[in-house]
């Protein structure tokens, strides 16, 4: 199996962990890095796992859904009342869990089918690493 990686850096968005007993329960932001590891058994005609120049659909998805967004856990009880009264202040993105770990798993589930489709099932994603600023990270691998 061959692999390659691409990173999308310095993407600003916010989140909160409503069950946390500390400051992570407050809405706060980070500059995030998303690193995708792509894999294949057979390269394309250029010898590439994926063509880095043809991944704009991933960048476009990140820009549309995460850039300057506020991520909410789907079971966050404050989400609906907050968005009902102040929705114009948020580009909300809801997912099962917006921790680093939860985001890594979620983005795997979103991006892997996109990569498989774009490559006619020749390539796929094996890992998504999420970095919060420059200090904390988590990874989902399959
Ligand atoms: Zn955080």
Radius of gyration of the chain (CA): 16
At 114-133, the pLDDT tens digits run: 999 999 999 999 999 999 99
Ligand 1 centroid from CA 42, angstroms: 38
CA 5–ligand 1 middle distance (angstroms): 24
Whole-number Å distance between alpha carbons of 136 and 23: 16
* CA 120 / ligand 1 centre spacing (Å): 36
- 64 CA → ligand 1 middle, Å: 20
Mean pLDDT, to the nearest integer, of 75-80?
A: 97
Average pLDDT over residues 48-64: 98
| pTM: predicted TM-score of the whole model, two decimal places | 0.96
> How far does CA 39 lie from the centroid of its chain?
18
Distance of alpha carbon 95 from alpha carbon 103, whole angstroms: 8
pLDDT in tens, 90-105: 999 999 999 999 999 9
CA trace torsion 57, 63, 66, 68 (10° rounding): 180
């Amino acid at each position: 199996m061959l692999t390659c990686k691409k990173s999308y850096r310095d993407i600003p968005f916010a989140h909160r962990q409503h069950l946390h007993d500390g400051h992570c329960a407050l809405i706060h932001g980070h500059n995030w890095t998303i690193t995708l590891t792509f894999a294949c058994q057979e390269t394309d005609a250029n010898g590439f796992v994926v063509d880095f120049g043809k991944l704009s659909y991933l960048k476009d998805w990140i820009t549309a859904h995460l850039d300057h967004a506020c991520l909410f856990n789907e079971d966050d009880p404050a989400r609906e009342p907050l968005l009902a009264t102040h929705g114009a202040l948020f580009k909300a993105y809801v997912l099962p869990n917006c921790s680093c770990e939860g985001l890594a798993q979620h983005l795997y589930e979103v991006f892997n089918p996109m990569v498989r489709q774009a490559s006619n099932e020749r390539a796929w994603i094996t890992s998504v690493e999420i970095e919060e600023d420059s200090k904390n990270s988590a990874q989902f691998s399959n």
